[in-house]
Structure 1
Amino acid sequence: MDFELTTTDLLSKKRQIICYYYRGYVRLLTLFGVIASLSALFFFTFANFIYQTLLQIIHGYISQNRLTTLVNISKSIGSFLCLSCFIFTMAIVIKMILLYIFFPDWLKKQLSTIQETVVIGQTQNNYLLSLKNKQFTIKKSTSQLVTTFLEETQLKIGQRSAPFGLAPATLFLLTSKPIETLNTPSRCNWNKIFLFLFSFVMILGIMSACIFMVQTESHQELADEFNYQQGILSRTLSEPEVNDTVVTQIGDTPTDHIKEPNYLRLQGKELYMTTDSGTTWQFVPIKPEWLQEQQSLTRNLPQKNDWLEQTYNIESEFSWFIFSPNSESQSLYQLSSRDKGKTWQKSLITNQFGPIRYRKVTFFEDGSGVAVFSTTFSHSEESLRVFTTADYGQTWRKSGRTLIGKPIQNASYLSPAAGFLATREDLYYTRDHGQSFNKATITIPEGYSANELSFFQAPNTIVATGSAKLEATFHLANAKDRPNRKVFACLFQSVNEGKSWTFVQQLSQIVSID
């Protein structure tokens, strides 16, 4: 074979050869596209759906943590596969470009390979070739005639046999000499085997994750019960004179009058309340520290300003307290009175909860109410649970749960079904009793910066001004006041039940940031 004449002849066949090779590359690009799409669908969309579904079923916060670990692993695998597909795709695209640009140089390298490739036999459907003592087959149905030499030797191009036709194309010589016909060997259907193994691995992974979560949940229930009983035993041994969730009065009842009609007093280590400006005082049978923030429990004496917002309310018609016996308690209770504190009723909200970081309870005129509690979950994430009542808190039921990516700053409910959660950066709304939360859209006006954005601060709330109209006060920093930016309270309005918010007007200055 004359190399110069062959090269000249094959250069005239550039379009045919490149198109054949490109078809193989397109199959690879299609495969990587399918893998990336399936990875995104399975490891992101489907995994997130399973995650949200299991989140409504799982009770233990340790189980939630493991569930989050599983979904994070799923996202990591999905990200790795998508990134790998992207890298391989770019490599193939670059290879296609280089093949077109440097085709003559590539062709010269291929000629030496063509000389070393020998057809050693054939079957009904395949050619059997050998290259450097390595045998492979090429399907006859995929082979094309490129050119014919004088000695009736044909130069063909064909596709190697491989799963999904992903093997590279090969140029080879087919002489006029008779080729030995071999018996057709039985071959494995690699396409079906690959699909079967892929499906099997996916199903096995889903089953393993479900079994892992079910076992984790069972272990968590045992752990919750054990921790709960240990907490009761610990408190009983250390404080034998005090009941689990009720304390008795030791000190003297206050007798002085005050200006405020409804007031809660911290006297020593006991709580007293009045609903008539101090004419009568009633002992509140819980410990002051049960109303405190978790981080303030290390102080020797409880401070009233350490109490969590919206954990109690004093009124003549209905007074209530939300408390947890200790910082590590799994239980949350409500203590309430409807006769100005003369008698008290205690009710259990939940006995499956970890250390509380945020809690807020809202009651409505008809006796219905919403309780929102959160615990630190992982890093900055918080596990949120929503409970509702229809009988002034005598009975509670869990209505929703979710994970919030940032610490909760405040919560505001318009009804047991409709409410809002605010973090430092985002506002979320629910219309289904807390079963799901969606991020609201906030339009920041020109001249203001979102760097100091702060949503409705306690005790401020979101108020309804119409059937679908809402108003709230958000804090924004003036972008023009530098370096001492001033923060202002700004009125925002929503006309679609809180899905999106627009600026109305600036109200007042809040604080100057140095």
Structure 2
Amino acid sequence: MKNAKWMLILFIFVLLVIAVVVQIRNQDEEQDEQVPEKQETKTDINGELPYTVQVEERDNKAETIAYRLWFDFMQQLKSDGTVANASFTRFTKISGDENSFVVAVIFQVQLPEGAKKTANSWGDPNENGVVSNLVWKLGIEKKDGLKYSITSIEKSDDTQIGLPPVETLEDYQKNLGIEDSTDKTAYRVSGSSLEITYNNGEDWQTVPVASEELFSSDRAADSSLREGSYVITPEVTAFVLGGQRDLSLLISNDKGKTWEEVLVSDKLPVLRLTLLGFTSGQDGYLIVTGDKTMSSEAHFIWKTYDGGQSWYQTGSVEYTHALVTDGGFVDNKLGFISFGEYRTEANPPEPNLYRTSDGGENWERVEIPIPEEYQGYFTQAEIPVFEGEKGTLLVNQGPQGDFLGGNVLAKFSSDDNGKTWSFAGLVDPDGVLIPD
């Protein structure tokens, strides 16, 4: 009887111990469910391949197709928690044909909250969990119809991959000897008075003109004059007047000591743009546009060979009524006018640049060979800079450009006074292609 009692007590004790152990284990499991483990990012990206996407019919460039695939692929990595976000810097075709090609993508990812911030397979993230300047070479193959597949991903450290030579804007200007804005000559508008200086602001003198007479009826709120409506040099200082049917210049050839108003024309439409310049103390040009309707307008060109005392009208670009975006002369014979973009139905837009070698009497269109991978991006030529017969031309992206931020320019060179041009690289004002 006594043994049976002790056996019962022992049995109850064992049951109590088991109950306590089970309760502790359940509590541990509940805590584990409440505190997630730190996420590990995938280390074998190629294990997700091949990855296939159907693109749109208009996607005919390798870079665009690669973007579609990459974007969809990154969305999948985002949905499974591998990354929190991703954005790209650029896509560049490296090699291949329309059926099989390699495109490099430079991009950055933001890791999800809770992911390990050190020894991460993506790289070294910053304090916000962002890993920058990632480089993948995407191997892409065309499948049936509009379907394409990423078949391989090769990681690289080359952030300049696939790029031609790239210059900063400062290096570009320095290499060409272009002076910056620290020139000694300048102007300022003080109330209703216009003042100029030839010694970097040590002395100022008043220009004998009322501000409302200047060709700048649409001047900015800071009273700045429109670029191209004035020239200030020790040899010649000139301001464009008028713009409502009549056009005159106020000119000084002795650093503002004396002034003369010279009539250029009194039979003009309402003007939109003036481009005034002097290539020497005696040789100058004036390109004006007006009578604007929608995306067309008239343009007129005058030349001077006596420091601006007299002007004569030279020829214009025949059968061309597009809006002028830039223009100027290199010397008294060689000149260029840019009419923005040239568009045809079957091709991407391209620069519409004209050249004269006889002072403006005759003009011919200049062919600018935009590389295939940049066609449709660089569309608007600026006026070239020359040293002897060697010229350098920049082509920008126009007002609607958004490629690499919209400010990267294509650079071209010429050895024959601008008759022919060849692609020479890119100019990167904002540093988007040249990482710190």
Q: TM-score, normalised by structure 1?
A: 0.42
Q: Higher relative contact order at CA 8 Å, sep ≥6: structure 1 or structure 2?
A: 2
Larger radius of gyration: 1
